[in-house]
Amino acid sequence: MAGQNNQNRKLQNLINIGKMADDSVGASELVDDSVGNAALGSLQEKTLLYEYDFAVSGGSAGAIALTGRGGVAPTQLPDNAVITNVTIEGVTDNTSGGSATIALGYTGQTGAFLAATAYNNAMWDVNAVTSGAPVVATGKTTAAVAVLATIATADLTAGKWYVWVTYFEGA
């Protein structure tokens, strides 16, 4: 009988461990990136955050590889990423001494997310959030690639914005 009680106690402990009260895992347990893309399965949608910050990257005409938030080293989109959505959030208004344009995309497809668009378009304004037209999510990467902002026509002299790229792992 003592052995059976011990087994019942173990079974009851297992059942109790398996039960979690609603909201038992909250914000304090799930801090930023505590469950990153690497921990997600291949069937789960993943998102990478990129930042353009004039103070970090400058604004000379040409292709600029976007960094992670806070100027950390850029994370590449992986090989076979099936891109499903791109969202832009304006943080600081862009300025230019001329009529600069900005295109968004990735290595080999510099306008894949956004064709060349005027630097002072409302989509770049502070607190503007743009997802969908004119921002398009298109394509599948054929190698690990950098996310790029391509500045043309004139240099930027200020600006900061975030770009979220959402994707699935393709075959």
Domain boundaries, the chain: 47-169
Residues 6+ apart with CB under 8 A from 151: 59, 60, 61, 62, 64, 100, 101, 102, 119
Whether this prediction's pTM lies above 0.75 is answered by yes
The CATH number, out of the four listed (3.40.50, 2.60.120, 2.20.28, 1.10.8), of the domain defined by the range 47-169: 2.60.120
CB neighbours of 44 closer than 8 A, spacing ≥ 6?
A: 168
> Tokens 């850029």 — which residue?
74
pLDDT tens for the chain, residues 1 to 171: 566 666 677 667 656 665 555 555 555 555 555 556 666 667 789 999 999 999 999 999 999 999 988 778 777 999 999 999 999 999 999 999 999 999 999 999 999 999 999 999 999 999 999 998 888 877 899 999 999 999 999 999 999 999 999 999 998
What span, in angstroms and rounded, lies between the C-alpha atoms of 146 and 42?
21
